A = this chain, B = another copy of it.
Amino acid sequence: MTALPQSEPEALAVGPLEVIPVEHLARVNGSALMLSVVELRMLTELLRRADRIVSREELSTRVWGRELRPGDRSVDVYVHKLRVKLEAALPGWSFIHTHFGLGYRLCPQPRKAAPRLVPERSRAGS
C-alpha cells in the first residue's frame, strides 16, 4: 500500500458514477465511458465537489488552468458534451444541474419521468 497524498484520492464515486483520475477512466454503472481528456478532467472536478455548486471561473481554472475570459463559452460547451454522454450511458438520469448565474452542480439522480404520451411497452428480457 503506497501512501498517496490524500488530496488525490484514487477513485471518486457518487451514485452510479465513478471516476479513477489516474487511470483516465470514468464509469457509469460499471461500464466505461468514452471521454476525451478535457471531458474527463471536467467530470473529475465536478465530482470532487459533488452536490456543490462549482462556478465557471473555477471550472475554467481547474480544467484549463487559465482564467475564464469574458465571452468564453467553453465551460458550457463541455458541460453539454458531458451531459450528452452521460445521458447516453444512463438514459433517464440527470447528472449536471445548472444554477443560473452561479455555475453547475453534479448530482446523479433519476429524472422525473415525463408523462408518457403512449403507454410503456412491456420489456422482454433476453
Contacts and interface: CB of A to CB of B under 8 A. Distances in A.
Interface residues of A, number: 20
Contacts of A24: 53, 99, 102
A34 interface: yes
B37 A101 contact: yes
Contacts of A25: 52-53
A100 to B, nearest CB: 6
Task: Count this chain's copies in the assembly.
Answer: 2
Interface in A84-104: 97, 99-102
A51 interface: yes
Contacts of A107: 32
Contacts of A29: none
Contacts of A99: 24, 34
20 contacts: A23-B52, A23-B53, A24-B53, A24-B99, A24-B102, A25-B52, A25-B53, A32-B51, A32-B97, A32-B105, A32-B107, A34-B97, A34-B99, A36-B100, A36-B101, A37-B100, A37-B101, A37-B102, A118-B123, A118-B124
